[in-house]
């Protein structure tokens, strides 16, 4: 039978997808709705026995950073890439549930990879336009 936890998890993953689409399309309503719902559903899931863990705590920090960075919808590809990388890093945390060091490393590495990818594609796009 489907449990409340499973429904919360489905809502949470859908919210995370909405957040990423909002970041990618630079669509503020999607970003806000996805972020808000990811926060609420994440807190609900965490309250169901997980509690305070390195990956829930740093997931929360990542979400706040995504909200703060995404609110300005950065037009610079490198910044947009870094935010998308950070979001991917949070997905990594949620799925693998590492300790403090692993969780911090995952967020830093994924953000840097996203930044590099954003820069690369930004430069390619500029070259294609010229």
Could you list the residues that contact ligand HEM (CB under 6 A)? 9, 12-13, 16, 19, 38-39, 42-43, 45-46, 50, 56, 59-60, 62-63, 66, 87, 90-91, 94-95
In the complex, residue closest to ligand HEM by CB: 42
Closer to ligand HEM by CB, 9 or 24: give it.
9
Which strand (E) or helix (H) includes residue 3?
A: none
- Shortest separation between residue 29's beta carbon and ligand HEM, angstroms: 17
Closer to ligand HEM by CB, 27 or 60: give it.
60
Instruction: Give one DSSP letter per residue of 40-79, joined into a string.
Output: HHHHHHIIIII-S-HHHHHHHHHHHHHHHHHHT---SHHH
Distances (CA, A) of 100 to 53, 61, 108: 9, 13, 12
């Amino acid at each position: 039978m489907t449990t409340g936890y499973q429904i919360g998890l489905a809502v949470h993953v859908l919210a995370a997808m909405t957040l990423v689409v909002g970041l990618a399309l630079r669509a503020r309503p999607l970003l806000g709705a996805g972020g808000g719902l990811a926060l609420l559903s994440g807190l609900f899931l965490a309250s169901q026995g997980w509690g305070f863990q390195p990956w829930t705590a740093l997931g929360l920090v990542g979400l706040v950073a995504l909200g703060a960075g995404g609110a300005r919808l950065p037009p610079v590809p490198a910044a947009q890439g870094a935010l998308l990388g950070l979001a991917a890093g949070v997905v990594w945390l949620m799925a693998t549930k590492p300790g403090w060091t692993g969780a911090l490393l995952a967020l830093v590495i994924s953000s840097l990879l996203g930044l590099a990818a954003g820069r690369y594609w930004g430069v390619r796009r500029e070259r294609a336009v010229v």
